[in-house]
Amino acid sequence: MSDFPSRLRDERKRLGLSQEALAALGGVKLNAQSNYENGKRAPDSVYLEAIALHGIDVGYLLTGVPSATVNALPAANEGAPFKYKETATHQSGPVIASERSARYLTQEQEALLDNYKATDDRGRAVARTVLEALAKTKKAKE
68 in a domain, yes or no? no
User: Taking a C-beta distance cutoff of 8 angstroms, is the pair 55, 62 a contact?
Assistant: no
Question: pLDDT tens-digit profile of 14-44?
Answer: 888 999 999 999 999 999 999 999 999 999 9
Report residues of the chain scoring pLDDT below 70.
1-2, 68-107, 138-139, 142
> What was the pLDDT predicted at 142?
67
> What was the pLDDT predicted at 85?
43
> What was the pLDDT predicted at 60?
86
35 in a domain, yes or no? yes
| Rounded Cα distance, 38 and 21, in Å | 17
32 in a domain, yes or no? yes
pTM score, whole prediction:
0.50
> What was the pLDDT predicted at 51?
92
- SS3 state of residue 30: helix
> What was the pLDDT predicted at 3?
92
Closest by CA position to 72, among listed 142, 10, 3, 1: 10
Closest by CA position to 61, among listed 14, 122, 93, 125: 14
Question: Among 63, 94, 109, which residue terminates a domain?
Answer: 63
Q: Which residues contact 127 (CB under 8 A, 6 or more apart)?
A: 116, 119
Judge if 91 and 59 occupy the same domain: no
Domain that holds residue 124: 81-141
17 in a domain, yes or no? yes
Judge if 48 and 93 occupy the same domain: no
CATH of the domain at 22: 1.10.260.40
128 in a domain, yes or no? yes
Judge if 86 and 127 occupy the same domain: yes
Instruction: Domain count for the chain, please give it.
Output: 2
